[in-house]
A and B are shown apart, each in its own frame.
Chain A
Amino acid sequence: MSYESPIRDQLVTGGKTYSDVTRDITRPLENSPSKGWWIGFSLSTVTLALWIGATTYTVLVGLGAWGLNKTVGWAFDITNFVFWVGIGHAGTLISAVLLLFRQKWRMSINRSAEAMTIFAVICAASFILSHMGRPWVAYWPIPLPNAFGTLWVNFNSPLVWDVFAISTYFSVSLVFWYVGLIPDIATVRDRATTKARKFWYGFFAMGWTGSTRTWHRYEVISLILAGISTPLVLSVHSIVSMDFATSLVPGWHTTIFPPYFVAGAIFSGFGMVLTLLVIAREVMNYKDYITEAHLDAMAKVVMVTGTMVGMAYITEFFVAAYSGVEYEQYAFLNRAFGPYWWAYWTMMSCNLIAPQVFWSSKARTNPTVLFIMSIIVNIGMWFERFVIIVTSLHRDFIPANWAMYTPTITEVTILIGSFGLFFFLFFLFIKFLPSINMAEVKSIIPTHAHEDEHQHHGHSHELATEKGVLHGN
């Protein structure tokens, strides 16, 4: 219930009432899935099987299954890790940062974006595990008193910081997501017609009653969770960037890495949110909730962050030239004009040049253009990480060590398979959980949508106006 400024467009269109919202959003949960869902789910299950197969093969055979060599010791695995972690940034950004800025358009997209965050971080973590070669000793970076003598982890190492950052990010995002889900799970519980639904949604709704006292505390903790998640998002990708930036490798050893990685993460995250939502609003018929205004706003974020990332690419070049360090200069020339020039220019055109189409408002609201652009952004951001990692490593200080890196089929299969893992989880999510935050969406529906139905209560519109003025926000 909020005061609507007449200047702004409505965030939810179609004159929805509260019960319309409930019905529309619980529909996929309460009915057997559509054909589209089955096709998508089956495809992602098959792709997930590829991931399982290729990962199992890697674990059995060892890292020899990959195209790594003595010079390029990090390639596809870390590229994919940073790629997925980056995608995982839009969810919390949308829910937390936009909550702090009181951007109400976030309300129809935050739930699915947060789900996306969690699934993307799961994908990212899978690469951390598999790149170790021996995933059964994955607990070694955790500071445990151990059997190898009194040997602790090295807290000066950003790789250890990363362990803490990613696991904190994952668990806090999960908590944030779950807390946001509780009122909606209660809605599903109260509508449940089958025993199983009543039991499971009842179990996870934790006895939610919709009491104002609870809502009051709920709002307090939502605000604090948003407040702590905002620096958390920024810190996680900053720490990921320090995995590179604190090393002495030319091309990695750059002070602009943290902000540049954060901008890139937001950019790629919004790219993936667009990919998912452009499809979801068509398939699930959520066009009244995810309106053109939402697409427009997301496209603007993509354009701004894409340009920031592009600016960082150019800044890096300038700094390398200006620093006078010949290794640094060579690393960047090699990136742009060396054997991996195609990767560099794919990155440049996808991330800096392509998003400039969003200066046109027609492009920002055209779902086809947005979908194609979102795929371009995803490709561009994957190549950004590939360029940073592989081109900086493959020609190191001694020319005798110079080598080229080519991924093996196993590596490519793991990458493709990780999309299977991601979409498998995402399809389960849209089937079993409300993919739009019903409680929040109801709170931004104008109350006069209900007045039309109940014309006989003539005086309440006046009250609404009074309340709007007094408590409007």
Chain B
Amino acid sequence: METRKIEIPVMADLFARGEKPEYLFWVGCAGAYDDRYKKVARAFAKILVHLNISFAVLGKEETCTGDPARRAGNEMLFQMQALQNIELFKAYEVKKVITICPHCYNTFKNEYPDLGADFEVISYIDILNKYMDEGKLRVDAEKFKNVKITYHDPCYLGRANGIYEQPRAILKKLGGELVEMERNRSFALCCGAGGAQMFKEAEKGNKEVFLERMEDVLKVDPEIIATACPFCMTMMTDGIKYKNQEEKMRNLDIAELIAESLNL
């Protein structure tokens, strides 16, 4: 199979040339630094290129949205990050932002407007689903045929923002056999990493939250756990390891599943 190299367009470069992309692809700290989630950023960027979508990233100018600081009570730090980001977006005349992290998505969409932000925020799940529905993103429905997939709802797409059906619609279009865990959609159990828990040890208890969730997974015994959040991915991937399921199960992000089915 032939391949070609792709360069990810950077906002500052485009701006210097007087070009303006339609979308800002907000990679997020996990997409930039977490080894596992970097692969998701790569998969999604490939899909954007495949679809000829006009986009750019901020690169070195990108910084934390401030979300974990806000949820951990550091409102001062959150607002400093938010106001800086809003200034930067204004300077680049950003009108539409695509995120691959539900936490970035939520704070941009629901919280930044209080601080003067004025841009549209789109979850990658929504844009992928839209392109599939419009027939612009055609996947190979054979690739995951009869593959048992379960979807773990991230709290910040699901309960926080009501995005329950779009990821499931994508999985169905991929041809997978979607199996639901008992706790799904608005009933879904958190992976345990939200609210800045990702960055600290859990308080004393009798179990890790991700293991409780992993037991839900084991009950439906899928081949693939589909996730749509970097923190959920860390937790579910850990869960697979802890429960010695590495031979049987993979944890993939929805963007990765699409890229895989497209052979990108």
Partners in one complex: no
Measuring CB to CB, which residues of chain A are less than 8 angstroms from any residue of chain B?
Answer: none
Measuring CB to CB, which residues of chain B are less than 8 angstroms from any residue of chain A?
Answer: none
